Amino acid sequence: MTTATPSFISQTSLDLSSIRNLVAEDLADVDSMIDVYYKSEAFLVNQIIEYFIYPSGKRVRPLALILMAHALGFKGPAAHKLAAMIEFIHTATLLHDDVVDESELRRGQETANKVWGNAASVLTGDFMYSRVFQVIVDLEQVPLKDIFSALANATNQMAEGEVMQLMQRYNSNIDEAAHLKVLQYKTGKLFQLATHIASIIAGADETVQQAAIEYGLCIGIAFQLTDDVLDYCAGPEKTGKNIGDDLADGSPTMPLIHAFRNAEKEDRDVILFALENGDITKIAQIKAIIDKNNSIEYTKNIARQHATKAIEALNVIPASKYREGLIALANFSINRDF
């Protein structure tokens, strides 16, 4: 085993398209699997999924699975099916999230619940979850028990994370540790599931599986912390969401938590009122408070720490272009602007 020092790339030189090009044929096969499995006799389901799953989706979680599988020496249709499964879970959570958050914009277009209503969105999300089990039972020559165990644990904790976040809405008493726990469960666990099951199908030993788990969890947390930053620094032309969307639904994010903890009383009162009422009428003032307390840079530093931990976890994996792709993906998670 060698240390994770890139040989043909610097740690920040690859954009997402370049990383995807490392496994372009595999990702095309993943898309083909998605096309096969999402089809329903209910026309509305097909309509919503085609509207929702294809426009500008980054497919980062399936990409992490494919890269990890290749880095561990596994190639084949099982990886493609499982990557499609991961995208189905992600899509289901987004459909449900948009209903819970009453969101109206996702990926630069109106949300499914805005177009078709809450009932159709929730039921389509349920359909996507049920498809996951059909994908798994179609797998051959893989340790199904281990995959089911990883899936059950991850999806259960993801649901817990959603409830934790719901409990924290409009709550000024939220602290940094509690927010990080939400990020770990709500976002980190699906990244972790992707890289974990890649190590399972590759037949990796316990040490390597733990490294895959650590990598996925840390990159997921870093990814979501970057979303926390972008919520205050980028508009819909970049992120496909409106600035201040998290604040509008009363969800405290790391920049706001840090600013609230360090601000003067007058500024704390502004944040407190906005958070407890989901009021973004003073979003410009709140952004100024965040900037004054260096809360964006503080959040970026925490994201960098998690990306570094993710990269360090790869030390037990042999050097290859796929491991370098995983390193680049960790850096993309903190350097992106969309």
Please report the pLDDT score of residue 242 as a whole number. 62
pLDDT the model gives residue 5: 38
Alpha-carbon distances of 40 from 37, 49, 50, 131, rounded to whole Å: 8, 10, 11, 10
Q: Is 105 helix (H, G, I), strand (E, B) or coil?
A: strand
Q: List the domain boundaries for the chain.
A: 16-335
Nearest-10 Cα torsion for 326, 328, 330, 336: -140
Q: Which residues of 42-73 are buried (b: 16+ CB within 10 A; e: fewer)?
A: eeebebbbebbbeeeeebbbbbbbbbbbbbbe
Task: Please report where in the chains the tokens 């509305």 appear, as a residue.
Answer: 44
Residues of the chain below pLDDT 50: 1-12
The pLDDT value given to residue 10: 39
Place of tokens 């209910």: 42
- Residue 248: the pLDDT is 82
Q: pTM for this one?
A: 0.90
pLDDT score recorded for residue 1: 39
Per-residue model confidence (pLDDT) at position 232: 87
CATH 3.30.70.340 describes domain 16-335: no
Q: What is the largest CA-CA distance in the chain?
A: 62
Neighbour count for residue 128 (Cβ, 10 Å):
28
